[in-house]
Amino acid sequence: MNFSEVFKHTNQLCRVSPDGKYLATCVQYRLVVRDVNTLQVLHLYTCLDQIQQVEWSSDSLFILCAIYKRGLVQVWSLEQPDWHCKIDEGSAGLVSSRWSPDGRHILNTTEFHLRVTVWSLCTKSVSYIKYPKACQQGIDFTRDGRYMALAERRDCKDYISVFVCSDWQLLRHFESETQDLAGIEWSPNGCVLAVWDTSLEYKVLLYSLDGRLLATYSAYEWSLGIKSVVWSPSSQFLAIGSYDEKVRILNHVTWKTITDFQHPAAISSSKAVVYREVERRPVVGNEDLSFHHDLTMGSSLFRTQSKYEICQLPVQVPVVKPDPDRANPKIGVSCMAFSSDSRYLATKNDNMPNSVWLWDIQKLRLFVVLEQVAPVRSFQWDPRRPRLALCTGNSKVYLWSPAGCVSVQVPGEGSFQVLALSWHASGNSLILMSKERLCLCYMETEEESQA
């Protein structure tokens, strides 16, 4: 495992192009495009103000920079560096901007969600879609890029419109049986649209492409309901994380629950493995101190080292009780992610912030629990193999695979606090981000390990 040198960035705005060749980073109002393999600067673009969002087009030929406080979007071309495009929403303002799947249209959502404006880079035409709903995830495209679903709010009722992305014609428009729609998401195969209600109403609705209601699911009433929803890559399972600290798995045939995963404070299952992070500081003698008198506390001599130990069952998982007097209580399952082969599901229960739970979907049981010293900030699966990376805000990155766990120190002078991470599409490298810096972690490939 090797690490690159450290680069500056702003607001964790770091994106790898879909083809995996380029790395885009933002430093205030400058956009820097590098070669992923060599990290050499290929293009340097200057925007009109500080960049607040950056996104690649699907073909990696264009890159979008949104400046929300000015209501502006600037688009740059990698093939023609002299070409650029500026989109000004004017007095309508701007709160969101994204590419369409074809990479030639930009969808801007104006302030107060008055409308969605569709700008064409090819014909310079403009289309308007009214009544978009202000919710967690109100727009979603099918994986093949053919259709777009949009959540709408009209006359105090929720509606869903399905558009054909090739010409932006309305395909279906129907009322959603929700009290206050909170989000929508297509299944990976594009056949089913999952719609879920506000956290005050536990309800998941499943619609077909033509607007037919396939199933309705509700686990309980009169309590805080759904906190997170995620599809498996195979489209066979829909995982629903709730405020009652459970994950319910629906199957794609009957849309009934096949199991629910609980997050117990005491783990006693003999089939589960608990890895606990153990920290220790190296013992430093007088000779070491005299030899390294010029080293700072951030140097490798004083770094805390950590490793994983397998715990003997039963194990008590640390639980943090939420403050009932504060809004948005830290309770329930907020983060879930399936591995690329749909074999494993990783979850995080907010009132157990230091633990990541790994579930075996084939055997429908708890497989592994990773217990960290600090609260888990982020975790993400390798897009090519069952390998999970996670970070806790310290200078280490943690990796789990069926072979075991490892804790890796990020090298370099000073403390590099890993606040977020992201896999490269090839799975051969990992982007590590601190507040104002980033570096790449290059993984050992199978060819290198065999050599």
In a domain, 60, yes or no: yes
| Domain membership flag for residue 425 | no
CATH number for the domain including 49?
2.130.10.10
Mean pLDDT of 196-216: 96
Q: What is the pLDDT of residues 83-129, one digit of tens each?
A: 999 999 999 999 999 999 999 999 999 999 999 999 999 999 999 99
In a domain, 152, yes or no: no
Asked if residue 443 belongs to a domain, the reply is no
Total number of domains constituting the chain: 1
Task: Look up residue 288 and give its DSSP letter.
Answer: H
Amino acid identity at 165: C
The closest of 3, 93, 97 to 444, measured between CA atoms, is 3
Instruction: Please check whether residue 39 lies inside any domain of the structure.
Output: yes
Answer whether residue 114 is part of any domain. Answer: yes
For residue 446, what pLDDT band results from cuts at 50, 70 and 90?
Answer: low
Cβ pair 397, 441 in contact under 8 A: yes
Q: What is the pLDDT of residue 304?
A: 73
Give the whole-number percent of the chain exceeding pLDDT 90: 83
Q: What is the DSSP string of 207-274?
A: EETTS-EEEEE---SSS--EEEEEE-TTSSEEEEEETTSEEEEEETTT--EEEEEE--SEE--TT-EE
Non-local CB neighbours of 418 within 8 Å, separated by 6+ positions: 377, 391, 392, 393, 394, 395, 396, 397, 410, 432, 433, 434
Any domain includes 98 = yes
Containing domain of residue 8, as a range? 1-127
Residue 445, pLDDT > 90, answer no
User: Average pLDDT, stretch 383-388?
Assistant: 96
| Residue 16: inside a domain | yes
Identify the pLDDT of residue 30. 96
Above 50 in pLDDT, residue 230?
A: yes
Question: Closest Cα to residue 225, out of 256, 252, 206, 246?
Answer: 246
Q: Are 54 and 62 in contact (CB under 8 A)?
A: no
Q: 151-165, 294-308, 318-332: which has the minimum mean pLDDT?
A: 294-308
pTM to 2 decimal places: 0.92
pLDDT-derived band at 300, boundaries 50, 70, 90? very low
Question: What is the token pair recorded at 431?
Answer: 């982007």
